[in-house]
Amino acid sequence: MRRHELLEGLHELVQPRTYLEIGVQTGRSLRYSRSCTIAVDPAFHLINEVLCDLHLVRATSDEFFARHRPLAHFPFPAADMSFIDGMHLAEYALRDLINVERHTLPTSVIVLDDMLPRHVDEAGRGRDAARTRGAWAGDVYKVVATLRELRPDLVCLEVDTEPTGTVIILLPDADSTVLPAAYDELVEQYVVPDPQEVPDDVIRRTRAISPQNLLDSPIWAELRRLRVRDRKSAREGVRKELDRVGFRMPS
């Protein structure tokens, strides 16, 4: 299954009331949204038809989140579903994740693209090597190891999509300060010269689950049902359902 097929399936199952997208490009992924949508990209060039209530923002994600009320277009200040496909460097992806998580509910779903590079060239911090062999994933895969170490409260699911893998994050916590506090130290670890030392489990996708199995999970209906709860009871309900279906942060 390709990443856009997964994203289309998630839109159908999650049925987000609000959708936030970081990295628009030609609007290919925006085609699937039918909800109130905010899409952010400093250089978008839409060539795909879009059919939703859309606020299209020509800005970097940092500029967007620096606004006083970045999600003012939404009927409530949170994104039921977000898709992060911005700059393919770990420090940018982490910063986008931090900013997105601040605007979530316990029932929100965060999707990160390009998380499972297939070879070292594809995982480089520069595009040049990847251009000779296809897609450029960059080194955003490093974010998963960070979440595994620092945020075991999250459920972070690596998904075996083509071409460069996807990660689904469930049970976000808008009040968490763990990642912002560690950001500067993490950037020092992230920014190293190419070629990157990509872990074998990333290249081989040993932790990745089948995208069809993910879509077939009963979790999505439960997330929709729990949206009407207050944050505390919604969090408890999502956690119980995640345990029931066996979705946990892989060790």
pLDDT grade for 136, boundaries at 50, 70 and 90: confident
Assess if residue 236 is contained within a domain.
yes
Residue 120 maps to which CATH number?
Answer: 3.40.50
In a domain, 166, yes or no: yes
Please state the length of the chain. Answer: 251
Considering the chain, what is the average pLDDT of its residues? 94
For residue 250, being part of any structural domain is answered with no
* Distance of alpha carbon 161 from alpha carbon 158, whole angstroms: 9
User: What are 91-126's pLDDT values in tens digits?
Assistant: 999 999 999 999 999 999 999 999 999 999 899 998
Burial class (CB in 10 A: 0-12, 13-18, 19+), 175: exposed
For residue range 9-40, list pLDDT tens digits in order.
999 999 999 999 999 999 999 999 999 999 99
CA 20 to chain centroid, in Å, comes to 10
| 150 part of a folded domain | yes
Within 10 angstroms of residue 210's Cβ, the number of other Cβ atoms is 12
What total of structural domains would you count in the chain? 1
Range of the domain at 8: 3-245
Chain-centroid distance of CA 250 in Å reads: 17
Q: Give the count of beta carbons closer than 10 Å to the beta carbon of residue 236.
A: 13
